[in-house]
Structure 1
Amino acid sequence: MARAIRYNLDHRQKMMEEALGERQLDVSNFDLLPQLAAQAGYSNRNHPLAASSRGVVTGAQTVPPSYSSDQNDRTADLGVTWNILDFGVSYFEAKEQADRVLVLEQRRRKVVQLMMQQVREAYWQAEGAQRIRDRIGPLLEQAQSALDDSRRAQQEALRSPIETLSYQHVLLDLMSRLEVVQGELDESKLRLASLMNVAPNQDFMLAPAGDFERPHFDMPIAQMEETALERRPELVEASYNERIGINETRKAMAKLLPGIELNIGQHYDSNSFLTYHAWHMAALSVSWNLLNVLNVKNIRGQAKAQLAVAQTQRLALSMAVLTQVYVARSVLGNKQRQFDLLKQLDDVDRQILEHTRNAMQADAQGKLEEIRAATSAMMSELRLYQSYGELESAYGQLLSSMGLDPMPSSLDGDDLRTIEKALAAEQLRWAAAGSGSDSHLSAARQPSMVKAVVSASVLPGKGDTGAAHALIQP
């Protein structure tokens, strides 16, 4: 789980999207500031800027041509411009971007929750495959040897053809099942490697697992419903999207208001004809498109319709979330019962194999019974691991249906050991909540981003991760 959280590419992508959203929020916040503009210039004319005046009635020249500016002129301006309307629009845009960052955080939470559910199932399937893989080869060799003996007996006509062919049919059917199982085992480890972002051609060993511990979650259904409605990433994201829609409407309404612009600046002109070469200036201007008033009714109607749609969507999503909680609770109970039955079946098949080996005869029929009993015992053990993986997946699905995060809200570091300890502590907290000893689990709290290093230069098997073939603890 720790390796998946640190190295999984889907999780890393969501973290990078969240980091990008935070950078965009910084840009949006900067747009709230006034505009500070500095300008400097130099002009040169080959002739003076001379002009004269004529009378309006007589048309005669009233003053001789004259000029009041130098042929070479230098100017400099430093001014602050603040448009109150633009500030209001930028304010709502910044609030929308802040909510979008929170939406990305909820999507990252969802990815982590689903990823942990997949890791639970893939780990136990890979663990079962690792335990059984070394037993398939000898069984296939034993079955092939028995098949060869049967074919020699067929050629020598030691038994009836029907009996011999039936015997060979059973052997070939067992060998076919073993080949199918061997292919499935090879795939299970690759799925786990993909979740941990381990190269497909890189071999690793899983640490031997202990006894199967059945996960229990006995939280009252009313508290489960409350927890899901408060913590599910989809519902939290829906509330943020609803808030974005409201701010979008407010931004549209703000654009209908008059634009008030304030200008304050310091100016300089080198023109020798000026009495004062430097001066301060302040200006205030108001502009308003009166036709926008006609659009107020449409914008308000759109806002009400948009809010009604968002509320309906959230209500439908809430009902779907509650349904998922009930389904996940039911699935967990079913998987627990299936695991109990398969565990009893595995015990029976082990005893059958033991008795078959004790009573094994030297003839071919005795080999068939031993091969059949060994195959049945191995398949029962494999199904047991697969069933336990499905049980763990159902447990993870129940936690995910309530929006419980596999990671705490904050971490002291981002190395594998720290993440592993945090995961273990949070799982203990889940177990305590499931037994009813933690009554504060459903309290609303905003999850914060796991501060993990996102670096393409960090690869599994290097740095603090240890060798790629090191034991990966369950």
Structure 2
Amino acid sequence: MNKTIAVFVIVLILSGCSIHPIPITLKQHQQRLSQDQSALQANQQPLTAPLALSDAMARAIRYNLNHRINLLHGALSAQELTTARLELLPKLTAQAGYNYRSNINASSSESIETGTETLEPSTSTDQEITEASLSFTWSVLDFGLSYVRAKQQADRYLMAKEHIRKIAHQIMLDVRSAYWRTVAQQRLMKYIDKIMTQAENALKDSEVIRKKRLQSPYTALSYQRDILLIIRELHILRKNVLPAKAELAKLINVLPSSNIQVIEPAANAMWLPDPPMTLNEFEQYALLHRPELINEVYKERITAAETKAAMLQLLPHLKLQAAGHYNSNDFLVNQHWGDIGFDISYNLLGTFSQLSRLKTAKEKQNIIQLNRLAMHMAVLSQVHISWQAYYQAIDEFKASSHFSEIEQKIVHHVRVNAKKNRLGKNELLRAELNHLLGKLRRDLSYADVHNTFGQLLVASGIDVLPKTVTDNTLDGWASSIEQKMQTLGDISFVNNF
């Protein structure tokens, strides 16, 4: 028996010493890559038609990985709440065991006065013993603390739900911004390559004309400067919209190389969102519904519960217990028996640490109250700033739209005169470039209108997502989101701007 145990211990020691670092092979990395790529698009409806804004939002809320991660965190928080509730139950412990001795557990006695043996060696224990017990224990203090902890976990679960709301708000805002910049990019890419090639050729021709002195140097250089200024601004604006499709692809969980197409509103059918509330109503709604403010209230409740927990720990520890036992030892008179009892204890020196903890909890509660008040002011400021930014974006869009209309009329006039040979191709190219620049400015300012409107909704804590969806399909989500957007004033109609 002893030899077997020794051999077992030696084997364990040797196996522990034989562990070495094992790097992941290239083949394993390739397998992981293949599995990840398959998992990214699993159970996902493919893109088959141009996306409306509601379609993009529906795809983001169904397929966006960050949102799915936060949903799993919410599910985990719910499971932790269930665990906290179960900890309120008393402890019911079942125990069983087996004991074997290689020889008899015998003993003798000797006199403490003479030192002589007074009893021949005897035993009261079998060599093999089986025992079992079932014990019930309930601690009043542990129950009170578990109740407080369960209430705190319930508030943490509610905080997790508010965090999911906040993430959903941000995802919807990001989708809105990426969508309208994708509209601008999609329109731009239809014309820009061709017109930029023409501009580069015109610059080369102008330089040749200047060198041959077929035109005054000042006129040629002024023309080149004008064209280069327009091209530079086009490059800057194009830089702002080029990542839009890739950003939208990430948000709706498709590969960046996917051919994403979005629905483009006609130039005469661009609608301006109509806020459903006044500024004061937005502010009041935000104070009631912003996830951050609601979470501050839950934090305050959690800290208040921590104060109660510290007060409970100042009380004595009372434990009630009852148990039933069985022992197979044949020498026992009673092999089955039960017992019941209670004990009470109090850690006298622990009082000082609990009083300090109570004071700390109260200080934390004061800090959280101040944080909530600071958040209150921050929310009001964010709503006010978002409101001003929205109407400023509308003014900029109206100005850029008017500018685009003028450029449209100018280029039309230049085209007509160019056909009649009244104007040269250089003037036509300059007008075409300015026309393209005006359209891009208009589209980007229009995207900014919708982005600032989305920021106003986020600052106010307004949910773009419906609370309930009767049809859980992708089309059902898109339809419900579109209906919700209509109630928020983000609807498709022509404004007289």
Alignment TM class, shorter chain as reference: 0.7 to 0.9
Q: Specify which of 25, 28, 32 is matched with residue 81 of structure 2.
A: 25
The structure-2 alpha-carbon separation of the partners of 1:98 and 1:141, relative to structure 1 and needing over 3 Å to count, comes to same
Q: What residue is the counterpart of 1:289 in the other structure?
A: 347
**Inter-CA distance 184–234: structure 2 relative to 1 (3 Å threshold):** closer
Deviations 1:430-472 (A, max 9, x none): 2399xxxxxxxxxxxxxxxxxxxxxxxxxxxxxxxxxxxxxxx
SS in 1 for 2:384: helix
Of 165, 171, 189, 1:115 maps to: 171
2:200 alignment counterpart: 144
* Amino acid across the alignment from 1:8: N
Per-residue CA deviations over 1:138-179 (Å, capped at 9, x if unaligned) read 212332343344344345432223323333333344444444
| CA drift at 1:126 | 1.0
- Separation in 2, partners of 1:84, 1:56: 47
8 Å contact kept, 1:133–1:182: no
TM-score, length of structure 1 as denominator length: 0.83
Distance in 2 between residues matched to 1:64 and 1:152, nearest whole Å: 128
Aligned counterpart, 2:100: 44
Q: How does 1:283-362 map to 2 (within 5 A)?
A: 283-295=341-353, 297-360=355-418
Partner residue of 1:159?
215
Q: Decide whether the 8 Å contact of 1:261 with 1:286 is kept in 2.
A: yes
Instruction: Determine whether 1:276 maps to 2:334.
Output: yes
Conservation of the 8 A alpha-carbon contact between 1:121 and 1:392: yes
Structure 2 residue aligned with 1:124: 180
SS of equivalent residue, structure 2 residue 477: helix
- Residue 348 of structure 1 deviates from its aligned partner by 1.2
Deviations 1:349-393 (A, max 9, x none): 111111111112677962122112111121111111111111111
Deviation at 1:73, TM superposition (A): 1.9
Change in CA separation of 1:141 and 1:67 when aligned onto 2, cut-off 3 Å: closer
The letter of the residue matching 2:460 is M
In 2, Cα distance between equivalents of 1:394 and 1:130? 21
Distance 1:173 1:225, change over 3 A: closer
SS of 1:265 mapped into structure 2: strand
Instruction: Compare 245-254 and 359-368 and name the one that shifted more.
Output: 359-368
CA distance in 1, matches of 2:354, 2:201: 88
C-alpha offsets along residues 72-121 of structure 1, whole Å, 9 cap, x if unaligned?
A: 22212222222222222222222222222222222221122122222222
Contact 1:361 1:367 in 2 (8 A): no
Residues 76 and 301 of structure 1: is their aligned pair in 2 closer, same or farther, counting only changes over 3 Å? closer
Query: Aligned residue for 1:223?
Result: 281
Secondary structure of residue in 2 paired with 1:431:
coil
Tell me which residue corresponds to 1:418. 476
Instruction: Look up the match of 2:242.
Output: 186
AA of the residue aligned to 1:164: A
CA contact (8 A) 2:418 2:424 kept: yes
Question: One-letter code of the match for 2:347?
Answer: N
Question: Which residue type is aligned with residue 131 of structure 1?
Answer: R
The 8 Å contact of residues 136 and 182 in structure 1, kept in 2 or not, is answered as: no
* Alignment check: 8 A CA contact 1:133 1:185 kept: no
- Residue ranges of structure 2 left out of the alignment (5+ in a row): 1-56, 492-497
In structure 2, the residue matched to 1:213 is 271
After TM superposition, the score normalised by the length of structure 2 is 0.80
Which whole-Å CA distance do the structure 1 matches of 2:358 and 2:213 have between them?
94
Match of 1:392 in 2: 450
**Unmatched 5+ stretches in structure 1:** 434-474
